[in-house]
Structure 1
Amino acid sequence: MTQVLIRPARESDLEAMAAITATSYHEVDARTFQRSWPDPQPRLRSRNTAWIHRTRHTLTTDPGGCWVAEVDGQVVGGATSRVRELMWILSSFAVEPDHQGQGIGLQLLAAAMHYGRGCLRGMFAATADPGAVRRYRLAGFTLHPQMFLTGVVERGAIPVVERAREGSAGDIDLLNSIDRQTRGAAHLSDHEVLLDQFRLVVCERANGAGYAYVDDTGSPSLLAATTRRTAQDVMWEALGSSAPGSTVAVHHITTVNEWAVDVGLAARMSLHQSGYLCLRRMLPPAPYLHHGSLL
């Protein structure tokens, strides 16, 4: 019988963990995508580098939440999690396709969840893989279906957004305050990682504040605001930075965030459904579009 070793992750495991997540996530995407969706693409080298950078940060801040599975001395799976204030967040979780169905994922998930045993709330994003979804529900998480938007933004629909500006590290206290109002816990040092990888847009007014980390396509990779109106304005500001004629995707939209659906439809983007936001002892954050791994 094959012996499986579950042990704490080390920095020397990062390359193997990145390869496993890239392979397993793409396999799920290829197996579950629908004909109307854009074809799933393997993770780009630049995104792999960003994944390693984020996970190295997690190893530094939350070593007790990061685990790997070894079979015959080879890393075949991993789970990384973090605790931010009183929230446990599962950042990544994957097992090589050839080693799935052997109970390895259950052991990894148990180790990561043990790290968050003192937390009041739990949160992570999941693919539409039926086996994984079953495991998460049995672990006590509520499954909230996610939507996503994709398409070329209609330039004539973009409104003028007032009081939107470029953000910086000097805004982190404001961002953490917005985090606590929307998702119940601040991102804390994760903002430093996000600032390193994305452009930050901030909108601050007397009647509301919001922010978005925007990637180089114009997609908001993380968006939070204190009002729906401010959230819509920040999303428009992000979409407005997309190149004319280029395709943009906005992911991780739960049903409580229909304000994002309204913006996407006004921009002539198409709406689809895939994956779940998995929550424990909390309601879906709003107005909020979560990041895939930093949540």
Structure 2
Amino acid sequence: MTEATIRPMAEADLPTAERLSSEGFLELDSRMFRRSWPDPQPRSPDRGQDWIVRTRHFLQTDPGGCWVAEDPDGMVGFATSYTRELMWILATYAVRPGAQGRGIGKALLAAALHHGRGCLRGMLSASSDPKATRRYRQAGFSLHPQMFLAGTVDRSALPVVERVREGSSGDIELMDSIDRRTRGAAHGPDHEVMLRLWRLLVSDTSTGSGYAYLDTTGRVALLAATNRRTATRLLWESLASTEGKTEIGHVTAVNEWAIDVGLEARLDLHQEGYLALRNMKPPAPYLHNGVFL
């Protein structure tokens, strides 16, 4: 069996890595999905372009955290990671399905973890894939089950929401302060990318502050706040922006306030995946993003 070579990722690798990521996660979703759920779909071209924008950003800020595995046939895997203040974060990590079981994933994760060797804390969003969760646990991460709520919002349940405004780049300092309080590290340069990709809502009052990024469908991509009342206000405003079926994703047990909002909006509760943490407690009030965490 030909051994794979691990090398630093280059910008020219991005299109190939995006396709490998799309194929790998489609295979995982097809293998793990429940029969009552809709069949998994390939990543759309627009989402693929967003993936490249995000990954190029990590490659620019943290070239030492981005790695590729290749054999004579080409790229067989990659891992992208980054550090923000004293936190190491795994953004994404994939091995081509036909190349699994050769130790490639273990070598890629080791290279990415080395980038965060000076960090006090670690954070990543994991699927329910048993192989991956075993690897994360062996690397010293605690696995916290994630929940999500899905369905169509009962519009009659929507409250009148006040003290929420549109955000901008002028709110980055405020958001970094909230980040440090909720998860122990600021997002820093990541906010500039998220501002380009998503809509930003902010609530900043004398009793609490928070923010939420909403994707193009109105769904929360990331939410952080200094108290549950502010977080609840932002989540209700996001649900008011949705049309048709929606989701509230990445809910951990310490964020029951989000479960209460989702159930009141007549969404259904499910469980999928894990928030993997090292040397830290699950952030709250906080709904993490799968890539920016």
- Band the TM-score falls in, shorter-chain normalisation: over 0.9
- The count of corresponding residues between Structure 1 and Structure 2 is 293
Determine helix, strand or coil for the equivalent of 1:82: strand
Partner of 2:29: 29
Q: Distance in 2 between matches of 1:257 and 1:190?
A: 23
Task: Give the aligned partner of residue 270 of structure 1.
Answer: 268
Where does structure 1 lack aligned partners over 5 or more consecutive residues? none
- Check the 8 A contact 1:232/1:259 in 2, yes or no: yes
Q: Does structure 1 residue 130 correspond to structure 2 residue 130? A: yes
Post-superposition Cα deviations, 1:57-82, rounded to whole Å, max 9, x if no partner, equal 00000000000000115111000000
Partner of 1:171: 171
Structure 2: stretches of 5+ with no match in the other structure: none
Secondary structure at the aligned position of 1:98 is classed as helix
* 1:4 and 2:8 are equivalent in the alignment: no
Which amino acid in structure 2 is aligned with residue 142 of structure 1?
S
Distance 1:71 1:191 in 2: 36
Residue 118 (structure 2) aligns with: 118
Structure 1 residue 25: Cα displacement: 1.1
**Aligned partner letter, 2:259:** V
Identify the range of structure 1 (95-104 vs 32-41) with the bigger mean alpha-carbon deviation. Answer: 32-41
The answer to whether the Cα contact below 8 Å between 1:168 and 1:200 also exists between their aligned partners in 2 is: yes
Q: Deviations over 1:160-181 (max 9, x none)?
A: 1111000000000001000000
What CA distance in whole angstroms lies between the structure 2 residues aligned with 1:104 and 1:257? 35
Residue type of the alignment partner of 2:159: P
Aligned to 2:103: 103
Identical counterparts, % of pairs: 61
Aligned counterpart, 1:287: 285
- Aligned counterparts of 1:28 and 1:168: Cα–Cα separation in 2: 36
Are 1:249 and 2:247 matched, yes or no?
yes
Please say if residues 3 and 72 of structure 1, whose CA atoms lie closer than 8 Å, have aligned partners that are also in contact.
no
Following the alignment from structure 2 to structure 1, what is the Cα–Cα distance between the partners of residues 35 and 212?
30
Distance in 2, matches of 1:60 and 1:247, equals 36
Kindly provide the amino acid, as one letter, of the partner of residue 157 in structure 1: A
Alignment of 1:28-177 (within 5 A): 28-72=28-72, 74-177=74-177
Which residue of 2 is the match for residue 195 of structure 1? 195
Structure-2 separation of matches of 1:192 and 1:126: 25
Query: Structure 2 CA distance, aligned partners of 1:161 and 1:233?
Result: 6
Per-residue deviation, 1:216: 1.7
For 1:233 and 1:21, how far apart are their aligned partners in 2?
Answer: 35
Q: Which residue of 2 aligns with 1:233?
A: 233
3-state SS of paired residue (1:218): coil
Shift of 1:35: 2.7
Query: What is the RMSD computed on CA atoms of the aligned residues?
Result: 0.9
How big is the shift at 1:39?
3.0
8 Å Cα contact 1:200/1:211 also seen in 2 = yes
Displacement of 1:196:
0.4
